């Protein structure tokens, strides 16, 4: 601290940025994050890969990825003034969930990606990132006031054009695996990522080296062979994309490969050797809700739209809407063993108002009724 005449304004010296970074790590732990790391904003190599990926059409009908252009790979363009990105990870695997592989092994049950069994992660993560931002803001407030500066920050939780895996890898939280997800030697991949864009010159952390070696289990296990090469995902074939992002008809050739997965897919993570080091979440927010860790397909298909909206309030699943919910379950019912329960469930939706639902119900019934398709309405 520098002081002059007692009647003059007190001038606060520039903060010790390394010490501040260490305090941020401590606050992050108190708030519930397992780890944070800091990166600069140079993503030019990632930008080249992104543009090539878009050029190949691997993004499917996620047109927003094209519309945002290079905003994803240029943080300072998205949030002017940004010179650092604080990346945070938060474990999500629920400790009370049924065994994932056993659920997928029972085709009458519905499989929901483990990240979506509890509360919507966007809300959980954003709240904690905002708390961390406020701790930073309070810490630097005296210096800001003295120097006539204003701290600029913005929080992201998979809610804007942000290359979160690239930023997390650059910050040293892990490395991008061959399935394109982030891997951490001590935590595997069962965690969410969130970011704080900030205009403070915090010291950056070192990147990690890759540790996938010759392993290709994630590539070989993918039901639809969406991982077309190491580190290259064709979203158009990915079950997570098909059940969540894709709004239209699911390609018929891919439907039998989806099994009973009605929301997302975890196969590449379940088979990854690094996930033997993963830790379960210690937050009540991520505990299983509505028995979604292994419900019967027929029971879920019977939900009315009102039940769907009420039961899944606060869940990430709700955002796909009731129509796609029924579409996804119809496919899974088509892949289930033929039974009176399955056939009756499908027949109950043959007159559904949605042509999309009717189409997938008709396909599913045809599988159970010897190829006799249900006539669709015009």
> Per the residue annotation, which of 42, 77, 139, 158 is the catalytic one?
158
Cα–Cα dist 109/116, whole Å: 16
The beta strands (E) that lie in 157-286 are given as 175-176, 182-183, 191-198, 227-229, 232-233, 261-263
Place of tokens 């240029």: 74
For the purposes of burial, counting CB atoms within 10 Å of the CB of 61, is it exposed (0-12), middle (13-18) or buried (19 or more)? Answer: middle
158 is catalytic: yes
Q: Please give the helix or strand (H or E) that residue 156 lies within, else none.
A: strand 153-156
- Supply 231's token pair: 């580190």
Are 346 and 369 in contact by the 8 Å Cβ rule? The answer is no
> Per residue, what are the HEC states of 69-113?
HHHCCCHHHHCCCCCEEEEEEEECCCCCCCCHHHHHCCCCECEEC
Show the CA angle centred on residue 26, arms to residues 25 and 29, nearest 5°: 90
Ordered alpha helix ranges (H), the chain: 17-31, 44-55, 64-67, 75-78, 100-104, 121-147, 164-171, 217-221, 239-240, 267-270, 297-301, 305-311, 321-335, 340-347, 355-368
Are 276 and 292 in contact by the 8 Å Cβ rule? The answer is no
Cα–Cα dist 224/147, whole Å: 57
The beta strands (E) that lie in 252-304 are given as 261-263
Backbone angles phi, psi at 6, to 5 degrees: -55, -25
Cα–Cα dist 220/372, whole Å: 34
For the annotated catalytic residues, the residue numbers are 158
């Amino acid at each position: 601290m520098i002081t002059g005449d007692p009647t003059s304004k007190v001038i606060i010296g520039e903060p010790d940025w390394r010490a501040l970074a260490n305090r941020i790590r401590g606050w992050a732990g108190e708030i519930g994050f397992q780890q944070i790391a800091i990166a600069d904003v140079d993503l030019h190599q990632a930008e080249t890969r992104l543009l090539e990926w878009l050029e190949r059409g691997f993004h499917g009908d996620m047109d927003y990825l094209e519309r945002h252009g290079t905003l994803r790979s240029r943080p300072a363009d998205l949030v002017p003034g940004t010179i650092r990105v604080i990346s945070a990870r938060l474990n999500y695997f629920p400790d009370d969930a049924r065994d994932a592989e056993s659920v997928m092994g029972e085709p009458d049950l519905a499989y929901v990606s483990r990240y979506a069994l509890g509360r919507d992660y966007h809300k959980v993560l954003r709240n904690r990132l905002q708390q961390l931002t406020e701790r930073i803001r309070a810490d630097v407030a005296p210096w800001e006031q003295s120097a006539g500066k204003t701290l600029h920050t913005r929080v992201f939780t998979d809610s804007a054009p942000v290359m979160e895996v690239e930023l997390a890898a650059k910050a040293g939280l892990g490395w991008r695996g061959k399935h394109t997800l982030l891997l951490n030697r001590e935590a595997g991949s069962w965690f969410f990522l969130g970011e704080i864009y900030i205009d403070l010159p915090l010291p950056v952390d070192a990147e990690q080296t890759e540790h996938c070696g010759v392993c290709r289990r994630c590539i070989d296990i993918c039901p639809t062979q969406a991982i077309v090469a190491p580190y290259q995902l064709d979203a158009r074939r990915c079950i997570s994309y098909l059940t969540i992002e894709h709004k239209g008809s699911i390609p018929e050739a891919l439907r039998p490969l989806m099994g009973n997965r009605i929301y997302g897919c975890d196969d590449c993570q379940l088979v990854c050797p690094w996930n033997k080091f993963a830790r379960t979440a210690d937050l009540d927010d991520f505990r299983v809700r509505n028995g979604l860790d292994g419900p019967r397909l027929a029971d879920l298909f019977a939900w009315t739209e009102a039940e769907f909206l009420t039961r899944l309030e606060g869940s990430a699943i709700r955002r796909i809407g009731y129509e796609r919910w029924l579409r996804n379950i119809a496919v899974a019912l088509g892949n289930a063993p033929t039974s009176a329960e399955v056939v009756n469930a499908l027949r109950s939706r043959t007159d559904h108002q949605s042509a999309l639902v009717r189409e997938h119900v008709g396909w599913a019934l045809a599988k159970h009724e010897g190829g006799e398709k249900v006539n669709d309405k015009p």
